[in-house]
Structures are given as structure tokens and as C-alpha cells.
Amino acid sequence: MSVRDLPDRLPEIDYTKYTNRQLAAIPLAVLGVSLLILVGWSLFVTGQPASPGSPVDLGIAFTGGTEVQIVATDSPSAIESNLGFQVDSVQPVRGSDRYIVTTQSTNTEQIQSAISSAGYEQISMSETAASFGADSVQLALMGIAVAFVGMSLVIFILFRTFVPSIAVVISAFSDIVIPIALMNVFGIKLSLGTVAALLMLIGYSVDSDVLLNNHILRRRGGFYESTYRAMRTGVTMTLTSISAMAVMTIAAYLMGIPLLPEIGIVLVFGLSADLMNTYMLNLSLLRWYKYEGVKQ
């Protein structure tokens, strides 16, 4: 079976069985739960009700911290328990007896003393200043915000009508919020790599949503005919990307490559959410606009 054969084998969903409210209910419910997770995380996990913190746990690139490479024969869990400081992660270096230990502590003397007391050999140590981390948070958030606002402006210029444009923007917003909430659930911290994954998700989301909008609003054929035509391309494209990211995540994890597993799993979260948001939430808004929102 070739890739060319895949689109024709996708099952056609009978959207006529579901109202617009039914189609939008699940994506909006998932978005609502995700927003509650982010708010709760900001208030009660990384901050206090009087002084909210970050909606997601930050890695050392944003908080400041220390990365140490050591030689050890123990397991990662044993290394973490043997060291006398708070450890964020212990990652093995593939094909060697070395481990990369990260911590938010910047007390290098205490870290070196704990490593020596545990009987491990220190190979290297690098420190990220807290001030640099704070600047990185602002730059990362600014980058995501600028990318999202720029995407929104382009979408409104492209379609020049409110409902189709806002449908794309809401879907893209949900595609970002859901993975961030899942990052909290699965203990994935915000790093420069995961920020890059979130930026990529904006592009993936817009691609699939614009494809659907163009087929329905600008090409010949009935509403459902245009929908299925767009799905043959869009769903295949997204499923292929999910499969590729899943394979990359597993391979990078088994080979001990840092950052790539986190990038891959965030993309899998976002692309899976994109399937739901595009072909349920976005589609319901387009159908309402096509049959009820536009005066015939």
C-alpha cells in the first residue's frame, strides 16, 4: 500500500448525525479543562493565589540552575536519591556510564560536595544564571505571542470574514493550550525545545485549518463533499506527522538524546488536539456560518 492510497481509505464521518453544538461540545470541554489546569497550576503549584506564578513548570533555561555530567554505575533513581540536593532530572548518555544531572540549585559548592560524597566522578558543570532565565521567559512568551498575533492577522486578511477567521484562531489557541496543560500532567517542563515545539504547532494548526476553510468556502462542491475532500489531505498529513513524531520520540528516548523526546511528545499532544479541533470545533463553526450565519 502506497501513501497515495491512504486518503481514499479514510472513513467518511456522517456529520449530519450531529448538531453544531454536539460537534463543538467536546473540543470546548477539553479546552475548558485545560484552562482550569493552567489556572490551578499558576495559583497553587508554581505560585500563590495572591501572587500567581507560571502556568507551567519551568526548566533551568528559564529559572536558572546547574547541569552536571557525572560518571556513575547506579541507576538514575539511585543517583537522584544519593545526591544531597533537589534533582530535576537524571538523563543517561547513550553508550557510556555518564549521566547528565540537572538541578535548579546554583550552589556549586554544595553540588560538588554532594557528588563527591556520593562517590561519583564529576566530568563537567555548567550554570545558568537566574537573571538570564528570567529574560528567557520573557523572550519565549513574547515569541509565542508575536507568532500567534501575526498568524491571527494573516488569517483575518486572508478570509476577511469574522466567523471563518475566528474559527482558525480558536482552533490554534486550543492547539497550544491543550499541550501545555498535558505538559503539567505528565511532568514535562518548559524548555527552549518545548517552546520551539509550541511555535511549530501554530504552523501545523493553521495549515490544517486553512486547508479545511479553503475547501469549504472557496472551492466548488457541496459542504460535506468539500469537507471530505479536505479531510483526505488534512487527516492523512496530520496522522503522518503524529507517526513521525512518535517514532522520533521513542528513538530519541532509547538513544538518550536530550530535548528531542520532550519536543516529540509535545508535538504529538498538539497534533492530536489539532485533529479534534479542526474537524469538530472548526467544522461546526464553518457549518453554522455556511447555513445560518450567511444570509442567502
Domains 3-56+132-293 and 65-128 belong to one CATH topology: no
What pLDDT score was predicted for residue 47? 62
Sign of the dihedral defined by the CA atoms of residues 144, 148, 154, 155, in that order: positive
What pLDDT score was predicted for residue 218? 83
Q: Produce one character per residue of 149-182: b if its CB has 16 or more CB atoms within 10 Å, e if not.
A: eebbeebbeebeeeebbbbbbbbbbbbbbbbbbb
What pLDDT score was predicted for residue 130? 62
- C-alpha cell read off for 223: 459542504
Single out the residue of 206, 171, 195 nearest to residue 284, CA to CA. 171
Q: Does domain 65-128 have CATH number 3.30.70?
A: yes
pLDDT tens series, the chain, 296 aa = 334 444 445 567 889 899 999 999 999 999 999 999 999 988 887 665 555 677 888 888 788 788 899 998 888 888 988 887 888 888 888 778 888 898 888 888 889 999 988 889 999 898 877 655 666 677 777 888 888 888 889 888 888 888 889 999 999 999 999 999 999 999 898 888 898 899 899 888 889 999 999 999 888 888 999 999 999 999 999 999 999 999 999 998 888 777 889 999 999 999 999 999 999 999 999 999 988 875 44
What pLDDT score was predicted for residue 44? 82
What pLDDT score was predicted for residue 141? 75
Fold type of domain 3-56+132-293:
Multidrug efflux transporter AcrB transmembrane fold (1.20.1640)
What pLDDT score was predicted for residue 52? 63
The domain limits of the chain are 3-56+132-293, 65-128
